[in-house]
């Protein structure tokens, strides 16, 4: 299953200072909201009747003065906030306790967007460092403005659009923040309604819904759950040589594979000769790539009713002490993790069972981190569609009280990787928040199905129940694909859908592929992005991504 001489051990080359600066957890104990500096009052008066182009020039002048050393970083942030009408905060993110030498840490928050943490011996030094770090990300965005629309009363000039995701793309603005509050309420209700509907028909499987994950499509008029999954286990079976065993049945992974089934369905709808079906597809043809992309106004969101396994669960309990914590401990806490039969280990751990009989996969947290860079569509679908990213991750608050670990794991660990990725791939930083939890009460008689998980996607007439330890559908499942009990989520089923799309799009090169593995390897940009991401994680000291032998991918239809 693993390469000869392979190892789980990752690089620990990142310095302690780098690790600490990148991963200090947020606390809510001290928050300072800054009003605009009084020295800006005169400047503000002068700008009352200034139109968009003049405002642009003023912004450029402020930035130039900062680069020349004439303006303090903190002062520039306040001035930019005043000119662009942004809400600015300096938030203290760590407390130091009774230490002989005090370290302070602050981060800049602009319109709800949190930037990198700055540290210093004094609060003044920490604020300065935080401001400098925020400006490193903010200034390139402002400097790329090519045009500014005429000013409308009360409306600030727009932030620029860039080929790489800009602040307005990857982080919610004030308007988007308002919409997000509405989404935060709509999504859990939509998930609960669907789960209740599915379980009312199959009460005997209610206990399977403890670890629920769902993908939701949001448009201007509706909020709809399109894929759902539950589960909490890896299979105990050996790697399947025919692609008909599901190795990882954790809720988020199951929901994501259900999402892929939904995407395949809508790709086929787009290429349908029936105009009505094509119109109902969520896809449109992209003029820039020639691939399909989501229609304008459609966004994808992920709901999980508890923090996913891995690094997301650990840093929320961690309070990093600059004088006592070691780089080794930091690596273990926020590095990559492996899942073995439902248990999670750091890649740096020496206690992992590496026996050939154990199916080992990356933790759910690490998989989400990867999907936010490579997209949730996977390698096969990337032949036909652009990367599909999640714009927000909503976590049920009954099982979580701190999302800082999730923010570190999904966003901060890979925040510098975009520049190294091929075209159309980037790191999308999702908006992560706590929302009302969706939970189902299990029945007294579980019939030994605590290891089972449920999957469903839009268009399915019934749920499928898979035994996570066996990787196959159970006999009692409402949906069964056949007597072999192979799940509709298995690799062989995905390859079948891939071949259907390849036939519909007349892609003879893809139809001629000899195996599942070859079809994946032919997705060159996707594979390049994956290699870049894993090399970046290793370089940053988070460890080596599990490199499985692909014997289980050599099957064909």
Structure confidence by residue, pLDDT tens digits, 61-78: 888 888 888 888 888 888
Of 125, 144, 163, which residue sits at a domain end? 144
pLDDT on residue 348 = 84
- How far, rounded to the nearest angstrom, does the alpha carbon of residue 385 sit from its chain's CA centroid? 18
For position 99, which CATH number holds? 3.30.160.20
pLDDT on residue 126 = 83
- Looking at 102-116, 166-180, 371-385, which range is the least confident one? 166-180
pLDDT, average across residues 228-248: 85
pLDDT, average across residues 369-389: 97
Give CA–CA dist 397/277, Å, rounded. Answer: 38
User: Of residues 134 and 303, which shows the higher confidence score?
Assistant: 303
Query: Is residue 4 domain-resident?
Result: no
Range of the domain at 292: 183-349+356-552
Q: pLDDT digits over 380-392, tens only?
A: 999 999 999 999 9
Query: Is residue 218 domain-resident?
Result: yes
Give CA–CA dist 306/263, Å, rounded. Answer: 25
Q: How far apart are the first and last CA of the chain?
A: 22
- CA–CA distance from 349 to each of 217, 333, 532, 537, 555 (Å)? 38, 11, 24, 17, 33
pLDDT on residue 317 = 52
In terms of domains, do 227 and 98 share one?
Answer: no
Residue 243 has pLDDT above 70, yes or no: yes
In terms of domains, do 191 and 91 share one?
Answer: no
* Predicted TM-score (pTM) of this structure: 0.68
In terms of domains, do 101 and 231 share one?
Answer: no
Number of domains in the chain: 2
In terms of domains, do 330 and 449 share one?
Answer: yes
pLDDT on residue 266 = 97
DSSP state of 57: H
Of 93, 114, 144, which residue sits at a domain end? 144
Counts for the chain of helices (H) and strands (E), in that order: 17, 17
Query: Is residue 151 domain-resident?
Result: no
Give CA–CA dist 138/145, Å, rounded. Answer: 12
pLDDT on residue 227 = 98
Residue 79 has pLDDT above 90, yes or no: no
Give the pLDDT band (50/70/90) at residue 82: confident
In terms of domains, do 138 and 188 share one?
Answer: no
- CA–CA distance from 545 to each of 335, 348, 389, 458 (Å)? 10, 11, 21, 32
Q: Which of 296, 280, 299 is nearest to 224 (CA)?
A: 299
Judge whether 212 and 258 are in contact, CB under 8 Å. Answer: no
In terms of domains, do 140 and 264 share one?
Answer: no
Residue 158 has pLDDT above 50, yes or no: no
Judge whether 347 and 367 are in contact, CB under 8 Å. Answer: no
In terms of domains, do 139 and 231 share one?
Answer: no
User: Of residues 499 and 446, which shows the higher confidence score?
Assistant: 499
- CA–CA distance from 313 to each of 52, 147, 400, 405, 408 (Å)? 46, 44, 9, 6, 11
Residue 84 has pLDDT above 60, yes or no: yes
Query: Is residue 150 domain-resident?
Result: no
In terms of domains, do 304 and 450 share one?
Answer: yes
In terms of domains, do 108 and 203 share one?
Answer: no
User: Of residues 449 and 132, which shows the higher confidence score?
Assistant: 132
Query: Is residue 421 domain-resident?
Result: yes
- How far, rounded to the nearest angstrom, does the alpha carbon of residue 55 sit from its chain's CA centroid? 36
Q: Which of 81, 89, 88 is nearest to 142 (CA)?
A: 81
Residue 285 has pLDDT above 80, yes or no: yes
Residue 347 has pLDDT above 70, yes or no: yes
Judge whether 212 and 226 are in contact, CB under 8 Å. Answer: no
Query: Is residue 413 domain-resident?
Result: yes
Residue 21 has pLDDT above 70, yes or no: no
User: Of residues 327 and 166, which shows the higher confidence score?
Assistant: 327
User: Of residues 375 and 318, which shows the higher confidence score?
Assistant: 375
In terms of domains, do 136 and 190 share one?
Answer: no
Residue 458 has pLDDT above 50, yes or no: yes
Query: Is residue 342 domain-resident?
Result: yes
In terms of domains, do 135 and 188 share one?
Answer: no
Give the pLDDT band (50/70/90) at residue 320: very low
pLDDT on residue 318 = 53
Query: Is residue 23 domain-resident?
Result: no
Judge whether 232 and 251 are in contact, CB under 8 Å. Answer: yes
Judge whether 390 and 300 are in contact, CB under 8 Å. Answer: yes
pLDDT on residue 432 = 92
- CA–CA distance from 89 to each of 77, 123, 189, 243 (Å)? 10, 14, 32, 52
In terms of domains, do 113 and 202 share one?
Answer: no
Residue with tokens 């926020």: 334
pLDDT, average across residues 430-435: 91
Residue 447 has pLDDT above 80, yes or no: no
User: Which of helix, strand or coil describes residue 294?
Assistant: strand
- Looking at 76-80, 101-105, 173-177, 332-336, which range is the least confident one? 173-177
pLDDT on residue 332 = 67
DSSP state of 422: P
- If phi > 0 it is left, if psi is from -120 to 50 it is alpha, else beta; for residue 375 that is left
Residue 353 has pLDDT above 70, yes or no: no
- CA–CA distance from 434 to each of 293, 357, 401, 417, 493 (Å)? 29, 38, 8, 27, 34
Mean pLDDT of the chain: 77
Residue 41 has pLDDT above 50, yes or no: no
Residue 92 has pLDDT above 70, yes or no: yes
CA torsion sign, 251 to 253 to 257 to 262?
Answer: positive
pLDDT, average across residues 414-418: 90
- CA–CA distance from 291 to each of 267, 285, 332, 382, 465 (Å)? 11, 6, 40, 9, 34
* Cross-strand partners of 106: 92, 118
Give CA–CA dist 203/199, Å, rounded. Answer: 5
Of 113, 144, 175, which residue sits at a domain end? 144
């Amino acid at each position: 299953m693993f390469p000869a001489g392979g190892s789980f051990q990752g690089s620990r080359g990142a310095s302690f200072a780098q690790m600490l600066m990148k991963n200090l957890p947020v606390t809510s104990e001290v928050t300072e909201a800054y009003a605009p500096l009084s020295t800006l009052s005169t400047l503000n008066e002068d700008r009352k009747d200034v139109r968009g182009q003049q405002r642009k020039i003023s912004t450029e002048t402020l930035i130039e003065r900062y680069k020349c050393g004439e303006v303090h970083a903190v002062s520039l942030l306040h001035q930019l906030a005043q000119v662009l009408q942004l809400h600015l905060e300096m938030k203290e993110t760590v407390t130091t306790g009774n230490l002989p030498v005090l370290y302070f840490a602050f981060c800049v928050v602009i319109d709800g967007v949190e930037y990198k943490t700055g540290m210093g011996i004094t609060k003044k030094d920490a604020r300065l460092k935080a401001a400098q770090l925020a400006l490193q990300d903010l200034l390139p965005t402002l400097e790329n403005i090519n045009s500014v629309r005429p000013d409308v009363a009360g409306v600030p000039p727009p932030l620029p659009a860039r080929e790489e995701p800009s602040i307005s793309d990857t982080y919610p603005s004030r308007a988007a923040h308002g919409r997000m509050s509405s989404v935060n309420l709509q999504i859990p209700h939509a998930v609960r309604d669907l789960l209740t509907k599915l379980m009312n028909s199959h009460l005997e499987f209610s206990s399977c819904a403890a670890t629920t994950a769902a993908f939701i499509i949001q448009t201007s008029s509706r909020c709809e759950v399109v894929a759902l999954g539950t589960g909490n286990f890896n299979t105990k079976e050996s790697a399947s040589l025919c692609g008909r065993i599901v190795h990882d049945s954790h809720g988020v992974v199951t929901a994501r594979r259900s999402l892929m089934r939904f995407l395949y369905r809508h790709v086929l709808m787009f290429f349908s000769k029936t105009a009505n079906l094509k119109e109902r597809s969520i896809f449109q043809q992209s003029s820039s790539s020639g691939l399909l992309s989501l229609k304008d106004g459609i966004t994808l969101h992920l709901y999980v009713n508890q923090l996913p396994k891995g690094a997301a669960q650990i840093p929320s309990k961690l309070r990093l002490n600059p004088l006592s914590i070691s780089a080794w401990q930091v690596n273990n806490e926020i590095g990559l993790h492996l899942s073995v039969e439902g248990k999670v280990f750091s890649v740096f751990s020496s206690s992992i069972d590496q026996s050939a009989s154990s199916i080992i996969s990356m933790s759910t947290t690490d998989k989400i981190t990867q999907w936010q860079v490579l997209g949730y569509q996977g390698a096969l679908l990337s032949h036909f569609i652009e990367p599909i990213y999640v714009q927000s991750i909503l976590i049920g608050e009954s099982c979580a009280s701190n999302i800082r670990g999730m923010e570190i794991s999904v966003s901060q660990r890979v925040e510098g990787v975009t520049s190294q990725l091929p075209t159309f791939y980037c790191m999308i930083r999702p908006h992560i928040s706590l929302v009302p939890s969706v939970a189902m009460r299990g029945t007294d008689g579980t019939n030994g199905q605590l290891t089972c998980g449920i999957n469903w996607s839009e268009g399915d007439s019934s749920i499928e129940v898979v035994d996570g330890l066996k990787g196959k559908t159970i006999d009692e499942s409402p949906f069964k694909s056949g007597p072999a009990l192979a799940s509709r989520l298995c690799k062989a089923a995905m390859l079948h859908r891939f071949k259907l799309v390849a036939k519909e799009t007349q892609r003879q090169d893809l139809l001629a592929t000899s195996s599942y593995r070859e079809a994946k390897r032919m997705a060159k940009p996707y594979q390049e992005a994956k290699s870049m991401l894993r090399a970046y994680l290793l370089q940053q000291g988070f460890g080596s991504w599990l490199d499985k032998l692909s014997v289980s991918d050599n099957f064909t239809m």
